[in-house]
């Protein structure tokens, strides 16, 4: 008798209903991802996802939005305001759900997007940073926390058909 295991990707988490976060998955994570029924993936890393993951995305008919290309060339720099606003256009449109936000390890770029989203949801900074640090582990980047703190939520265009959790 064969049993299938469902293993989530590194740094997987549920942000809100049908909105998830993680690092780049590998083949062991594909059965888990299939169960989520993803419609959209926002990819935040500057490089392309690996080929096996791209094949999985294609096989599952998932829309991939590569937003990392609008980021800085230096991987240590915080994600750009432009990339955050592009991600929000996807995140704030329920027609893209179920959706996952990803970067290589699901720490810094993904954490910054989620932190800015929490700020838009009017979370206090202590709670936002606690969540960011939980996923970043010992690799916290103060520039990312500063970016979240200074992010101007007035720049975000909230659509009329916004998600119910906003």
Q: What is the DSSP letter of 18?
A: T
CB atoms within 10 A of CB 1: 2
Catalytic residue among 91, 103, 148, 156: 103
Buried b / exposed e across 46-71, counting CB within 10 Å, b at 16+?
A: beebeeebeebbeeeebebbebbebb
**DSSP string covering 32-98:** HHHHHT--EEEE-SSSPPPHHHHHHHHHTT-EEEE-GGGS-SSTTSPPPHHHHHHHHHHHT-GGG-S
Is 103 part of the annotated catalytic residue set? yes
120: β partners: none
Q: Where in the sequence numbering do the catalytic residues fall?
A: 103
């Amino acid at each position: 008798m064969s049993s299938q295991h469902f293993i989530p990707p590194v740094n997987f988490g549920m942000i809100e209903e049908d909105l998830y976060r993680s690092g780049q998955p590998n083949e062991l994570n594909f059965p888990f991802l299939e169960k989520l029924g993803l419609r959209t993936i926002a990819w935040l890393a500057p490089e392309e996802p690996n080929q096996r993951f791209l094949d999985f995305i294609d096989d599952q008919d998932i829309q991939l939005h590569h937003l990392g290309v609008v980021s800085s060339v230096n991987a240590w720099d915080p994600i750009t305001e432009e990339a955050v606003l592009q991600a929000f256009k996807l995140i704030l449109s329920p027609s893209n759900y179920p959706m996952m936000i990803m970067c290589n390890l699901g720490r810094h770029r993904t954490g910054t997007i989620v932190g800015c989203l929490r700020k838009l949801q009017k979370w206090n900074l202590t709670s936002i940073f606690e969540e960011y640090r939980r996923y970043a582990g010992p690799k916290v980047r103060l520039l990312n926390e500063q970016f979240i703190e200074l992010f101007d939520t007035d720049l975000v265009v909230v659509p009329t058909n916004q998600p119910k959790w906003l």
